Amino acid sequence: MAEGLVPQSRVWAVGALCRAVADALDARFNPVTVQGEIGSFSRAGSGHCYFSLKDGQGQLRCAMFRRAASLLDFDVRDGDLVEVRGRLAVYEPRGDLQLVVESMRRAGQGTLFEQFLQRKAKLEAEGLFDAARKRPLPVFPRRVGLVTSRGAAALHDVVTAMRRRAPHVEVLLAPASVQGAQAPAELIAGLQALQQLDPLPDAILVVRGGGSIEDLWAFNDEQLARAIVASRVPVVVGVGHETDFTIADFCADLRAPTPTAAAELVAPSRDGWLQGLDALEEALLDALQGRLDRLAQRLDTAAARLGRPSSLAARQQAVLAQWHQRLQRATTASVHQAQRRFDGVAARWAAAAPASLRGRADRLERAALRLQLLDPAVVLQRGYAWLADSRGRTITRTAQLHPGDGVRATLADGSATLQVTAVQQGTSSDVSPGNPS
């Protein structure tokens, strides 16, 4: 370098320097895991989360985008101690250093969480979580067992919900610790004690409030999981908050997000069932009334078609009279036609052989006279009557008659309906006028 020349330092553009710093951070640190306390946590409408991680020595801005935030299995609150994994970057518009978080878990839960995953995989492989083996809850429970701590808020929540929704259901408490080393054994003992009752409860609730993974660890116990599966009655587990999951949840016949929800699931609202019964009663009454209305309409229609019985009988009598008149006219016309034929034959025979046919003509004339005397109309005019039963069959013998029978008598100028009052063999029947049938 020539004497007297000053070296020129590089002049950076702001954006270029930010990018260079970001590249250096990425090469030197990423990916990075950081432990700290949550501060200023907020969730935007887009689903992205923004917060800071801090400890006694410093503070770091953090951003967790929607995809990663959707994988969180706990509710994040200010003051939580967490471990996050992500990538350091520079937010170039402001030149701020920030950590883009890709995953988050509560600090100190790493070992427990690994145990949880291993135990879950083992029991799932054995079929303890299979949906096919899980039993439905009873529709109308009368007795419900409850396993929880006497001092737990979950006890109050369950009892309050049961009294509100189904006060007729008996709640049987088997007290047990829900936290600590002794809790799994006590929970198992509570389950078994309820199954020794006679009669058995219709379902058993195992509940406790929320907490950290350490607080809920008793419900990840393998022996408790097997006791739930072996239960003689359906088991509902309601542990923690909605985002909390334990091994007991997976083994239960039904998992409830909270203790209160467990009570609501096992005991449907009595008011709801009563309203349903009222609706069914109303529908049944409507259907019955509708059927009665339809039958009444049919009855009215039939009555209108039938009319008064006397009117029906009168119409039938008129029809019979018409047929009688037709019969008389037909019989008279037949006799007259035969007479004319006979007269014509006699005249021809008389003209052809007066002497030999006169005797035959006389016989024909006498036969015609006898035939005329046999005309039913002539016979009826002499005071006789033609009797027929209700089916129109001619009555010629007393054996065809019985007291109380209706008889149709056809006379020379009409007909009458008679009723048999007595039958005497060998003499004429004693009949008296009767009402039309």
Which residues face 206 on adjacent strands?
147, 237
Q: Are 196 and 228 spatial neighbours (Cβ–Cβ below 8 Å)?
A: no
Domains of the chain: total: 4
Q: Within 10 A of 132 (CB to CB), how many other CB atoms are there?
A: 5
The residue segments making up the domain with residue 219 are: 130-270
- Are 60 and 169 within one domain? no
Task: Give me 364's structure tokens.
Answer: 């024909």
- Are 46 and 67 within one domain? yes
Please give the Cα distance from 332 to 311 (Å, whole number): 32
**Helices within 99-246 (DSSP H only):** 110-125, 153-165, 183-194, 222-229
In a domain, 326, yes or no: yes
Q: Are 86 and 254 spatial neighbours (Cβ–Cβ below 8 Å)?
A: no
Task: Give me 341's structure tokens.
Answer: 């034929």
Residue found by looking up tokens 């409507």 in the block: 286
In a domain, 346, yes or no: yes
Please give the Cα distance from 43 to 7 (Å, whole number): 51
Q: What is the pLDDT along the chain (437 residues), one digit of tens a residue?
A: 445 455 567 777 777 777 777 777 777 778 888 888 888 889 988 889 999 988 878 888 899 999 999 888 778 888 788 889 888 887 777 777 888 899 988 876 556 777 888 999 999 999 999 999 999 998 889 999 999 999 888 999 999 998 988 888 999 999 999 998 899 999 999 999 999 999 999 999 999 988 877 788 899 999 999 999 999 999 999 998 777 789 999 999 999 999 999 999 998 766 665 666 777 888 888 888 888 888 888 887 877 766 666 666 677 788 888 888 888 888 788 777 877 887 777 677 666 655 665 677 778 888 877 777 777 777 777 788 888 888 888 888 888 888 988 898 888 888 888 888 888 876 544 445 544 44
Task: Give me 326's structure tokens.
Answer: 């037709």
Please give the Cα distance from 342 to 360 (Å, whole number): 11
Please give the Cα distance from 164 to 141 (Å, whole number): 15
- Are 136 and 260 within one domain? yes
- Are 160 and 190 within one domain? yes
- Are 134 and 28 within one domain? no
Query: 301: burial class by Cβ within 10 Å (0-12, 13-18, 19+)?
Result: exposed
